[in-house]
Amino acid sequence: MELKYFIIRRALVIIPTLMGLTILTFLLLWAYGPNLVAAGFESEKYHNVAAALAAQGFNFSDPIGTYFSYLAHLFTGNWGTINQPISAKTLTAVEIFFPNTIQLAIAATIVSVIIAIPLGTYIGARPNSPADQAGRIFSLSGYALPAFWLAYVLIILFGKKVGVVPYLNIFPYDGNGSLNVSSPIFNNFHVSTPTHILLIDALIAGDIPLFESAFMHLILPVATLTYGILAGILRFIRAGMVDASNQEFVKTARAKGVPEKTVIKKHIRKNALLPTVTVLGLLVSSLLGGVVTVEYVFDYLGIGYLAVYTAEATQVWGILVLTFIFGIILMITNLIVDVIYAFLDPRIRY
């Protein structure tokens, strides 16, 4: 009951930030000027730019009115069209590309958490040991590595040269990386695409070779992405472990006669994971940043890929909408993180 109110209250806090974000993106739009705003709204139907703008409710001498038309566009999904990387309505492109990003991000998060918790426990319980030093170098390199470079290093190591893991993109794409939307992208696989997540769609269709191939194609992108997040989580868990093991209650546990292993797993780790949860929001932010480069390098058709191509082609509407979407994802994950934290830590009173 109480938790419900906490969630509602916490969700309400998002609203001002969300409005701020609409203002920020609107300012960008305004800064870009009237010229190309109409682009993406079939401006060729109109005689001139002004007419095209007016049809969309944009009037560059009336900022307030234009802001509200912008809001209307933003929240009704009327986001115009893009030509790069596919030529389609922006909304359609997002619908197709978004699930892939979710798949990538969740896979990377799961893999990192599965590795990070036992590894962090092991390292954090042995500060300054050789394992700890190695872990420290690893986390540092995770911070310092250019993700795109790491992706290529992985490709050279595990890509087609050695032939261990194929690095070709999941989806077929013609010529210079642009997709032809007139031929639905999944047609090549002869499966229906209810979820737009190839792994799941293949399973639903019962196409095991396709599933296998999709899985193999996922490995390198996930590995690249994992490296960065894992490094981050590891660093925090380690710090949390060291911090928790210096606290008094650990001595109490030992004085009770709790065996060393249980002290670490039950008493120290639980306290170490709590502060780690609070920084997950930060990590998700860097994860989403990493998604952009990884998708670009591996030609993985997610919204990060979409963002890079819309940006390169200066499709202003596309990039603004994507900025907004990324913002919403981050806000929601932060909300979830806070709720989880409140749920886990008895000291938080909501």
Partner 1 sequence: MVEENITVTEQKERLKVQDLKVRFFTSKGIVKAIDNLSFSIREGESYGLVGESGSGKSVTATAVMDLIPDPPGRIIRGKIYIDGFNILTDLDQLAKIRIKSPTDVIIKRKKRLIKRHNYIMSGIRGDKVSMVFQEPFLSMNPVMTIGDQIKEAILLHGRVDIANSIIKRETMNAQEVSKIVDTIMAQPDTQTRNKIIVRLCGEYAIPELAKPFTDLFENSTDRDFIINEVLSLVNTKKTGLNLEKLEESKNYFLLRERILDLNLELIGAEHSGDERTAAQLEAQIKELKSTMRSQFLLYSIKRRFMRRFIDAPFEKFAEGRTLELLTQVNIAGPERVMTSYPHELSGGMLQRCMIAMAFSANPQLLIADEPTTALDVTTQAQILDLMKEVNKNYNTSILFITHDLAVIAEMCDRVGVIYGGNLVEEAPVKEIFYNAKHPYTTGLMNAIPRAERRFEKTARLESIPGSVPNLIDPPSGCRFHPRCKFKMDVCSEKKPKLVEIEKDHKVACFLYSDEVEEEPREEIP
Partner 2 sequence: MVEEVIGLEQVNAGTKKYRPRLELFSATVKSFVSNKAAVIGAVITFIYFAIAIIDTVAPSVFGIPSGEYTDLGYYSKHISPVETFGIFSPGTSHGFKYLLGGTIFNYPLLPAMFASLKFDLGYSVLIVGVGALVGSAIGVTAGYLGRWADEFMMRVTDVFFSVPFLILAIAFSTIFGHDMLSAVYALLIIWWPIYARLSRSLALSTKSLNYVEAATAAGSSKVRNIFYHVFPNVLSPIFVQISLDLGSIILIFATLSFLGITNLPYSFPELGALISDGDNFVTSFIPLPGFHLIWWPLIIPGFFLLIFTVSINLFGDGMRDALDPKLRK
Q: Which stretch binds partner 2 (CB under 8 A): 65-73, 99-107, 254-262, 317-325?
A: 317-325
Q: Which stretch binds partner 2 (CB under 8 A): 62-70, 117-125, 206-214, 280-288?
A: 280-288
- The rounded Cα 336 to chain-centroid distance in angstroms is 14
Q: Does 255 bind partner 1 (CB under 8 A)?
A: yes
Angle between helices 130-144 and 208-245 (to 10 degrees): 120
Closer CB to partner 2, residue 32 or residue 249? 32
Residues 6+ apart with CB under 8 A from 30: 60, 63, 66
Residues 86-105 that bind partner 2 (CB under 8 A): none
CA distances from 69 to 74, 90, 144, 229, 300 (A): 9, 17, 42, 39, 33
Instruction: Please pick, from the candidates 187, 188, 252, 314, the single residue that binds partner 1 as defined by CB under 8 A.
Output: 252
Instruction: Please pick, from the candidates 143, 251, 312, 328, the single residue that binds partner 1 as defined by CB under 8 A.
Output: 251
Q: Which stretch binds partner 1 (CB under 8 A): 85-93, 117-125, 167-175, 245-253?
A: 245-253
Q: Does 274 bind partner 1 (CB under 8 A)?
A: yes
Listed residue (1, 2, 14) closest to 336, CA to CA? 14
Instruction: Please pick, from the candidates 29, 121, 267, 326, the single residue that binds partner 1 as defined by CB under 8 A.
Output: 267
CA distances from 291 to 194, 197, 247 (A): 23, 16, 38
Q: Does 286 bind partner 2 (CB under 8 A)?
A: yes
Q: Are 304 and 108 in contact (CB under 8 A)?
A: no
Listed residue (26, 33, 64) closest to 49, CA to CA? 33
Q: What is the spatial distance between Cα 269 and Cα 120, in angstroms, rounded to a whole number?
A: 9
Instruction: Please pick, from the candidates 1, 12, 144, 255, the single residue that binds partner 2 as defined by CB under 8 A.
Output: 144
Closer CB to partner 2, residue 24 or residue 216? 24
Q: What is the spatial distance between Cα 141 and Cα 315, in angstroms, rounded to a whole number?
A: 35
Closer CB to partner 2, residue 77 or residue 146? 146
Residues 11-30 that bind partner 2 (CB under 8 A): 16-18, 20-21, 23-25, 28
Q: How many residues does the structure list for the chain? A: 350
**Adjacent-strand bridge partners of 81:** 89
* Interface residues toward partner 2, by CB under 8 A: 16-18, 20-21, 23-25, 28, 31-32, 140-141, 143-149, 152-153, 155-156, 159-161, 285-286, 288-289, 292-293, 296-297, 307-308, 311-312, 314, 316, 319-320, 322-323, 326-327, 330-331
* Interface residues toward partner 1, by CB under 8 A: 247-249, 251-260, 267, 270-271, 274, 344-347
